[in-house]
Amino acid sequence: MSIVAVGSIAFDSITTPSGARENILGGSCTYFSLAASYFTSVRIVAVVGEDFTSDYEDVFRKRKIDTKGIEHVKGKTFRWGGRYVDNLNEAKTDFTELNVFENFQPRIPQDYMDSKFLFLGNIHPSLQATVRQVMNGVQLTGGDTMNFWINGTRPELLQTLKLINVLLINDTEAKMLAGDRNLPRAAQRVLAMGPQALVIKHGEYGATIFFREGAFGIGKHPFRAPALPIEQVQDPTGAGDAFAGGFMGYLASQEDINREVLKRSLFYGGVMGSFAVERFGTERLQKLTREEIDSRFQVFRELTHLE
Amino acid sequence: MSIVAVGSIAFDSITTPSGARENILGGSCTYFSLAASYFTSVRIVAVVGEDFTSDYEDVFRKRKIDTKGIEHVKGKTFRWGGRYVDNLNEAKTDFTELNVFENFQPRIPQDYMDSKFLFLGNIHPSLQATVRQVMNGVQLTGGDTMNFWINGTRPELLQTLKLINVLLINDTEAKMLAGDRNLPRAAQRVLAMGPQALVIKHGEYGATIFFREGAFGIGKHPFRAPALPIEQVQDPTGAGDAFAGGFMGYLASQEDINREVLKRSLFYGGVMGSFAVERFGTERLQKLTREEIDSRFQVFRELTHLE
């Protein structure tokens, strides 16, 4: 089944202990869609400026990602600059130029409307809600958010959370959203806000999925997928978005959405996140094979599998 | 098989968001031995002062821990005070009074000498080395250390690491010891210093065991055991020592030490750590049953088990 992904396309300037790159293709929608494209057909909705040439669009086309929903407007594409100094888990932002992204109003092409899966990337919660309302035929909606919206637009975010089936955020965001520093308690509070499932991403430690009682099956226990310890982390940018792409992409490729499928999705999320960080930007995500992906899935599975 | 554990017995004064306790029984050897006592017979070597009355010794005796190696000397027992404010993963120390622990010279009772397993708790690396040399019949030695020794007595520590088969430390310690902020690279560097296996404890995210090539079996992949997300963390003190006790205790109870056994040990370590934090001090570790322990082991296994 196809999935529609809404989010940002950006040009990133990144410095890590492994080197530096200027103006490379990035953005949440880019990482997400490349990662998801190995599992299902992906249709994206984003906005770019005049500096987004067809060479860049080819990156998506080569992965058969539908780019009809990329809106081209006057001005420059969103740019972000950041560096990872002491800690590869946290970027220090050098600059953020929203440019054309500042007035982004997602428009869903008519022939995207039959998609049954939707991923609402990290944009203003009111825009997320509008997209979800327009796409009223979707079966399952995944969503992301961030500290900026949790603190700055909380009432709007709380409305949007009622429309999201699976929320994917990190530890800090979950604790901030819930106002509770204990992770499992925070998870229960976030689930009470709307989502049936909550994926909390722990960076290099993997991710945990918490379920609302009765959602997607029975049982009260969460499920945790580890991350493979990676020796060569070149650039952590986009790892969370690649995780979401692997998770949602695998999910959208399945007939039935149940807990076993959600567990495997969590592992595939970790797998795609682990590939993303091995090279700068989207380099690694552009040319994987499904065989490489499934082989790493097995390594991840072995990583915690007891006989 | 019995295990000899060397380390500290202390009285702790602890404040956490759940409350406060004064002068409760603690110390690395205490948490370790209580946790290990559910799997194998444990013999301890420690030093206490005149304030360590027989009521305290009964805590060990009730778990059939051999206390012959507790040396009673003039003065006060080691005391530590600390609090967990914002972050349950990190204690702020209020005071440390080494007292009788300052001049601790571990003495191994003669009838401990037939033990095949040894755990060297977090003491001066030269003392660790001496104990290991005295106990020259042991099959497997586990050890712990901390930042204080890594920075302050590095040459001595490097000597001791050659005598340790399985080192158990946390993320920060591993990175500091290796001088590398990348965890799997740090692990390889630490393994090159001597140990055949390295267990890195990630607190609420579980633990990973890294193997030296060819040690305990074949294969180059590490293994990770997750930790159960715990809603009610009353007191994180001793979680790492309880982890080590569960890990070493289960290990010592097995005929053959191979990778499958080490993997299960890692899970049992996580299980004992998770029990430790549910109540203040050693309260929970004093009265568990093997059934409770194995039932939680199953929950941990399910937590990451894919069909």
pLDDT by residue (tens digit) across B33-90? Answer: 999 999 999 999 999 999 999 999 999 999 999 999 999 999 999 999 999 987 777 8
Separation in Å, CA of A219 to nearest CA in chain B: 11
Each residue's pLDDT, cut to its tens digit, for chain A (307 residues) gives: 899 999 999 999 999 999 999 999 999 999 999 999 999 999 999 999 999 999 999 999 999 999 999 999 999 999 999 999 877 778 899 999 999 999 999 999 999 999 999 999 999 999 999 999 999 999 999 999 999 999 999 999 999 999 999 999 999 999 999 999 889 999 999 999 999 999 999 988 899 999 998 888 887 789 999 887 777 889 999 999 999 999 999 999 999 999 999 999 999 999 999 999 999 999 999 999 999 999 999 999 988 888 7
From chain A, pick out residues whose CB is under 8 angstroms from the CB of B184. Answer: 229-231
B304/A183 touch (CB, cutoff 8 Å), yes or no: no
Per CB-CB distance under 8 Å, the chain A contacts of B206 are 205, 226
Q: What is the mean pLDDT of residues B279-286?
A: 97
Q: Which residues in chain B are closer than 8 Å to A226, comparing Cβ atoms?
A: 206, 224, 226, 304
Q: How far is CA A152 from its chain centroid?
A: 21
What is the band of B200 on the pLDDT scale with cuts at 50, 70, 90? Answer: very high
Q: Tell me what pLDDT residue B111 has.
A: 95
Q: Which residues pair with B92 in a beta bridge?
A: B83
Which candidate from B221, B231, B301 shows the least CB-CB separation from A303? B221
Which two three-digit tokens encode residue A169? 């955020």
In the chain, the amino acid numbered A272 is M
| Closest residue, chain B, to A227 (C-alpha) | B224
pLDDT for residue B226: 84
Which residue carries 């700068």 as its tokens? Answer: A280
Of the candidates B226, B229, B260, which has its C-beta nearest A183's C-beta?
Answer: B229
Of all residues in chain B, what percent carry a pLDDT higher than 70?
100
**Closest-CA residue of chain A to B189:** A231
Distance between CA B140 and CA A17 in Å, rounded?
38
B1 pLDDT band, cuts 50/70/90, is confident
Considering only CB atoms, A267 lies closest to which of B185, B264, B306, namely B306
Helix, strand and coil percent figures for chain B, each rounded to 5: 40, 25, 40
Residue environment code for A134-159, b if the CB has 16+ CB neighbours within 10 A, otherwise e: ebeebebbbbbbbeebbeebeebbeb
On chain A, the residues whose CB falls within 8 A of the CB of B231 are 182, 184-185, 188
More confident residue, B210 or A89: B210
pLDDT recorded at residue A154: 97
Phi, psi of B261 (to 5 degrees): -65, -40
Q: Which of A187, A260, A307 sits opposite B307 (nearest CB)?
A: A260
The distance of A89 to chain B (nearest Cα, Å) reads 11
* Mean model confidence pLDDT for chain B: 95
**Looking at beta carbons, which residues of chain B come within 8 Å of A223?**
303-304
Residue A104 has what pLDDT?
A: 96
pLDDT of residue B268: 97
The yes-or-no verdict on residue B219 having pLDDT over 80 is no
Name every residue in B having a CB less than 8 A away from some CB of A.
86-88, 181-185, 187-188, 202, 204-206, 208, 221-226, 229-231, 233, 260, 263-264, 267, 299, 301-307
